[in-house]
Protein backbone atom coordinates (compact mmCIF):
# COMPACT_ATOMS: atom_id res chain seq x y z
CA UNK A 1 0.00 0.00 0.00
CA UNK A 2 1.08 3.54 -0.78
CA UNK A 3 0.25 6.74 1.08
CA UNK A 4 -2.39 7.34 -1.60
CA UNK A 5 -3.94 3.96 -0.79
CA UNK A 6 -4.13 4.86 2.90
CA UNK A 7 -5.79 8.15 2.01
CA UNK A 8 -8.29 6.26 -0.15
CA UNK A 9 -8.96 3.85 2.73
CA UNK A 10 -9.48 6.77 5.10
CA UNK A 11 -12.09 8.33 2.84
CA UNK A 12 -13.88 5.01 2.30
CA UNK A 13 -14.04 4.30 6.04
CA UNK A 14 -15.38 7.77 6.77
CA UNK A 15 -18.16 7.25 4.24
CA UNK A 16 -19.08 3.78 5.48
CA UNK A 17 -19.12 4.58 9.20
CA UNK A 18 -19.75 8.15 10.43
CA UNK A 19 -18.76 7.28 14.02
CA UNK A 20 -15.45 5.82 12.91
CA UNK A 21 -15.21 8.85 10.64
CA UNK A 22 -15.33 11.10 13.69
CA UNK A 23 -12.40 9.17 15.17
CA UNK A 24 -10.50 9.40 11.88
CA UNK A 25 -10.98 13.18 11.79
CA UNK A 26 -9.56 13.51 15.29
CA UNK A 27 -6.61 11.17 14.72
CA UNK A 28 -5.67 12.47 11.26
CA UNK A 29 -3.84 10.70 8.45
CA UNK A 30 -3.09 7.00 8.81
CA UNK A 31 0.58 6.44 9.64
CA UNK A 32 0.81 2.71 9.02
CA UNK A 33 3.20 3.24 6.13
CA UNK A 34 5.80 4.56 8.58
CA UNK A 35 6.39 1.05 9.94
CA UNK A 36 7.39 -0.60 6.69
CA UNK A 37 11.09 0.23 6.68
CA UNK A 38 13.45 -2.35 8.13
CA UNK A 39 14.41 -5.97 7.93
CA UNK A 40 11.67 -8.60 8.17
CA UNK A 41 13.78 -11.04 10.17
CA UNK A 42 14.50 -8.33 12.73
CA UNK A 43 10.79 -7.49 12.84
CA UNK A 44 9.96 -11.13 13.63
CA UNK A 45 12.57 -11.23 16.38
CA UNK A 46 11.14 -8.00 17.80
CA UNK A 47 7.63 -9.47 17.65
CA UNK A 48 8.70 -12.47 19.73
CA UNK A 49 10.62 -10.29 22.18
CA UNK A 50 7.68 -7.91 22.69
CA UNK A 51 5.02 -10.51 23.48
CA UNK A 52 3.31 -9.78 26.83
CA UNK A 53 5.65 -6.87 27.57
CA UNK A 54 5.13 -3.13 27.65
CA UNK A 55 6.49 -1.25 24.66
CA UNK A 56 9.14 0.44 26.79
CA UNK A 57 10.48 -2.80 28.29
CA UNK A 58 10.33 -4.61 24.95
CA UNK A 59 12.31 -1.82 23.25
CA UNK A 60 15.06 -2.06 25.87
CA UNK A 61 15.37 -5.84 25.59
CA UNK A 62 15.25 -5.82 21.79
CA UNK A 63 18.00 -3.19 21.79
CA UNK A 64 20.16 -5.45 23.91
CA UNK A 65 19.57 -8.38 21.58
CA UNK A 66 20.50 -6.24 18.57
CA UNK A 67 23.68 -5.12 20.34
CA UNK A 68 24.64 -8.74 20.98
CA UNK A 69 24.11 -9.68 17.34
CA UNK A 70 25.58 -6.71 15.54
CA UNK A 71 26.01 -3.36 17.27
CA UNK A 72 24.40 -0.64 15.18
CA UNK A 73 22.79 -3.06 12.75
CA UNK A 74 19.75 -5.32 12.53
CA UNK A 75 20.19 -8.91 13.74
CA UNK A 76 20.69 -11.58 11.12
CA UNK A 77 19.97 -15.33 11.38
CA UNK A 78 23.70 -16.11 11.36
CA UNK A 79 24.46 -13.59 14.09
CA UNK A 80 21.55 -14.85 16.18
CA UNK A 81 22.68 -18.47 15.86
CA UNK A 82 26.12 -17.49 17.17
CA UNK A 83 24.48 -16.62 20.50
CA UNK A 84 23.56 -18.96 23.32
CA UNK A 85 20.36 -19.22 25.29
CA UNK A 86 22.32 -17.95 28.30
CA UNK A 87 23.43 -14.80 26.47
CA UNK A 88 19.89 -14.08 25.33
CA UNK A 89 18.54 -14.63 28.82
CA UNK A 90 21.16 -12.22 30.18
CA UNK A 91 19.81 -9.66 27.70
CA UNK A 92 16.37 -10.04 29.28
CA UNK A 93 14.63 -12.77 27.31
CA UNK A 94 12.81 -15.55 29.08
CA UNK A 95 14.05 -19.07 28.44
CA UNK A 96 11.17 -19.88 26.03
CA UNK A 97 11.63 -16.62 24.09
CA UNK A 98 15.37 -17.23 23.80
CA UNK A 99 14.66 -20.63 22.29
CA UNK A 100 11.97 -19.19 20.03
CA UNK A 101 14.27 -16.59 18.45
CA UNK A 102 17.00 -19.20 17.97
CA UNK A 103 14.44 -21.53 16.40
CA UNK A 104 13.31 -18.72 14.09
CA UNK A 105 16.91 -18.02 13.08
CA UNK A 106 17.51 -21.71 12.37
CA UNK A 107 14.35 -21.95 10.25
CA UNK A 108 15.41 -18.99 8.13
CA UNK A 109 19.05 -20.08 7.86
CA UNK A 110 18.05 -23.61 6.82
CA UNK A 111 15.47 -22.40 4.30
CA UNK A 112 12.43 -23.83 6.09
CA UNK A 113 11.05 -20.26 6.21
CA UNK A 114 11.88 -18.14 3.16
CA UNK A 115 11.14 -14.56 4.14
CA UNK A 116 11.50 -13.15 0.62
CA UNK A 117 8.48 -15.15 -0.52
CA UNK A 118 6.10 -13.78 2.12
CA UNK A 119 5.59 -10.53 0.23
CA UNK A 120 3.97 -12.47 -2.62
CA UNK A 121 1.79 -14.88 -0.63
CA UNK A 122 -1.90 -14.40 0.25
CA UNK A 123 -2.61 -13.35 3.84
CA UNK A 124 -3.73 -16.82 4.95
CA UNK A 125 -0.58 -18.43 3.57
CA UNK A 126 1.62 -15.86 5.31
CA UNK A 127 -0.15 -16.63 8.59
CA UNK A 128 0.27 -20.37 8.03
CA UNK A 129 3.98 -20.01 7.19
CA UNK A 130 4.77 -17.81 10.17
CA UNK A 131 2.60 -19.78 12.59
CA UNK A 132 4.61 -22.89 11.76
CA UNK A 133 7.47 -21.32 13.73
CA UNK A 134 7.26 -21.96 17.45
CA UNK A 135 6.68 -18.71 19.30
CA UNK A 136 4.84 -17.02 16.44
CA UNK A 137 1.06 -17.38 16.61
CA UNK A 138 -1.79 -15.98 14.57
CA UNK A 139 -1.76 -12.60 16.33
CA UNK A 140 1.97 -12.14 15.75
CA UNK A 141 1.58 -13.10 12.10
CA UNK A 142 -1.25 -10.60 11.70
CA UNK A 143 0.91 -7.85 13.20
CA UNK A 144 3.56 -8.63 10.59
CA UNK A 145 0.93 -8.49 7.86
CA UNK A 146 -0.37 -5.13 9.05
CA UNK A 147 2.79 -3.33 10.10
CA UNK A 148 5.51 -4.84 7.89
CA UNK A 149 3.83 -6.23 4.78
CA UNK A 150 1.20 -3.47 4.72
CA UNK A 151 -1.72 -5.70 3.86
CA UNK A 152 -4.94 -3.64 3.75
CA UNK A 153 -7.58 -6.07 4.98
CA UNK A 154 -6.30 -7.90 8.06
CA UNK A 155 -8.77 -8.11 10.96
CA UNK A 156 -6.94 -8.87 14.25
CA UNK A 157 -9.85 -9.80 16.51
CA UNK A 158 -7.47 -11.60 18.85
CA UNK A 159 -5.97 -8.26 19.82
CA UNK A 160 -7.19 -6.95 23.18
CA UNK A 161 -6.88 -3.32 22.12
CA UNK A 162 -9.07 -3.87 19.06
CA UNK A 163 -11.65 -5.70 21.17
CA UNK A 164 -11.76 -2.92 23.76
CA UNK A 165 -12.10 -0.28 21.07
CA UNK A 166 -14.93 -2.23 19.41
CA UNK A 167 -16.72 -2.54 22.75
CA UNK A 168 -16.49 1.23 23.14
CA UNK A 169 -17.34 1.96 19.51
CA UNK A 170 -20.48 -0.20 19.55
CA UNK A 171 -21.32 0.50 23.22
CA UNK A 172 -21.32 -3.20 24.05
CA UNK A 173 -22.12 -4.20 27.61
CA UNK A 174 -20.28 -7.52 27.49
CA UNK A 175 -17.37 -8.93 25.48
CA UNK A 176 -18.59 -10.11 22.06
CA UNK A 177 -18.03 -13.62 20.76
CA UNK A 178 -15.40 -14.29 18.11
CA UNK A 179 -18.16 -14.70 15.54
CA UNK A 180 -19.60 -11.30 16.48
CA UNK A 181 -16.17 -9.70 16.40
CA UNK A 182 -15.57 -11.07 12.93
CA UNK A 183 -18.91 -9.70 11.74
CA UNK A 184 -18.30 -6.26 13.26
CA UNK A 185 -15.44 -5.78 10.83
CA UNK A 186 -17.48 -6.55 7.72
CA UNK A 187 -18.56 -2.93 7.01
CA UNK A 188 -14.90 -1.90 6.86
CA UNK A 189 -13.79 -4.34 4.15
CA UNK A 190 -11.47 -4.14 2.24
CA UNK A 191 -9.68 -1.74 4.62
CA UNK A 192 -9.92 -3.55 7.96
CA UNK A 193 -6.20 -3.11 8.71
CA UNK A 194 -6.66 0.65 8.52
CA UNK A 195 -9.85 0.48 10.59
CA UNK A 196 -7.97 -1.54 13.23
CA UNK A 197 -5.21 1.07 13.32
CA UNK A 198 -7.76 3.82 13.94
CA UNK A 199 -9.42 1.70 16.63
CA UNK A 200 -6.06 1.39 18.39
CA UNK A 201 -5.57 5.14 18.16
CA UNK A 202 -9.07 5.76 19.52
CA UNK A 203 -8.10 4.25 22.87
CA UNK A 204 -5.91 7.29 23.56
CA UNK A 205 -8.70 9.79 22.76
CA UNK A 206 -10.70 11.41 25.53
Q: Based on the fold, state whether residues 61 and 117 are members of the same structural domain.
A: yes
Count of alpha carbons within 13 angstroms of residue 129, beta-carbon side:
21
pLDDT given at position 175: 86
Contact (CB, 8 A) for 162 and 196: yes
Q: Based on the fold, state whether residues 193 and 163 are members of the same structural domain.
A: yes
Average pLDDT per block of 10 residues along the chain, 206 residues long = 91 94 94 73 93 90 92 88 97 97 97 94 97 94 93 94 92 91 95 96 89
pLDDT given at position 144: 93
Q: Burial of 54 by CB count in 10 Å (0-12 exposed, 13-18 middle, 19+ buried)?
A: exposed
Domain extent, residue 185, equals 3-35+154-202
Q: Based on the fold, state whether residues 137 and 189 are members of the same structural domain.
A: no
Average pLDDT, the chain: 92
Q: Based on the fold, state whether residues 93 and 117 are members of the same structural domain.
A: yes
Q: Based on the fold, state whether residues 28 and 127 are members of the same structural domain.
A: no
Q: Which of 108, 125, 147 is the last residue of a domain?
A: 147
Q: Based on the fold, state whether residues 54 and 109 are members of the same structural domain.
A: yes
Q: Phi-psi category of 131—alpha, beta or left, where left has phi over 0 and alpha has psi -120 to 50?
A: alpha
Q: Which of 104, 130, 147 is the last residue of a domain?
A: 147
Q: Based on the fold, state whether residues 134 and 167 are members of the same structural domain.
A: no
Radius of gyration (Cα) for the chain, nearest Å?
18
Amino acid sequence: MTEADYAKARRALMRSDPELGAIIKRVGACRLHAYRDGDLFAALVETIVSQQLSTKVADVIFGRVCALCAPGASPTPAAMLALTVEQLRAAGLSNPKARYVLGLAASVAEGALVLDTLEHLPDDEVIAALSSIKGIGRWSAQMILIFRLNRPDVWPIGDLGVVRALERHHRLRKPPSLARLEKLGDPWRPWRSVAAWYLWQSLALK
